[in-house]
Amino acid sequence: MKLNSVYLAENLEFMRDLDSNLIDLIYIDPPFYTGVDYKEFSDLWDSLGEYLDFMTIRIREMHRLLKKSGSFYLHCDANAIFDLKPVCDEIFGREFFRRENK
């Protein structure tokens, strides 16, 4: 990976090729589990479980990539935040949760 570069790739495959403990800050704005098929992308899922599986595997990979002193920000809305918070607590540790912005 080169600094100051943009990569167009499937995110999970791309992350799996990176070394661990590499990144200082991760901010994600993933699909929100809205059930809407937008022109730009589809946010349709067969079930909440499918959505959470999709997110969990990626959040685990991000945790692997994040430096011990790094920060992780998850942008989400009310559609799935109460389901994603326990996933993040399990992966990162509940004690590391700082706050929810309003």
CA distances from 11 to 35, 50, 98 (A): 21, 17, 26
| Predicted TM-score (pTM) of this structure | 0.90
pLDDT of 102 reads: 56
Q: What are the residues whose beta carbons fall under 8 Å from the beta carbon of 71, sequence distance 6 or more? A: 24, 25, 26
Provide the H-helix boundaries in the chain: 11-16, 48-65, 81-92
pLDDT of 11 reads: 95
- The pLDDT tens digits of the residues spanning 50-97 come to 999 999 999 999 999 999 999 999 999 999 999 999 999 999 999 888
pLDDT of 96 reads: 86
Give the whole-angstrom CA distance, residue 38 versus residue 98: 32
- The pLDDT tens digits of the residues spanning 5-14 come to 899 999 999 9
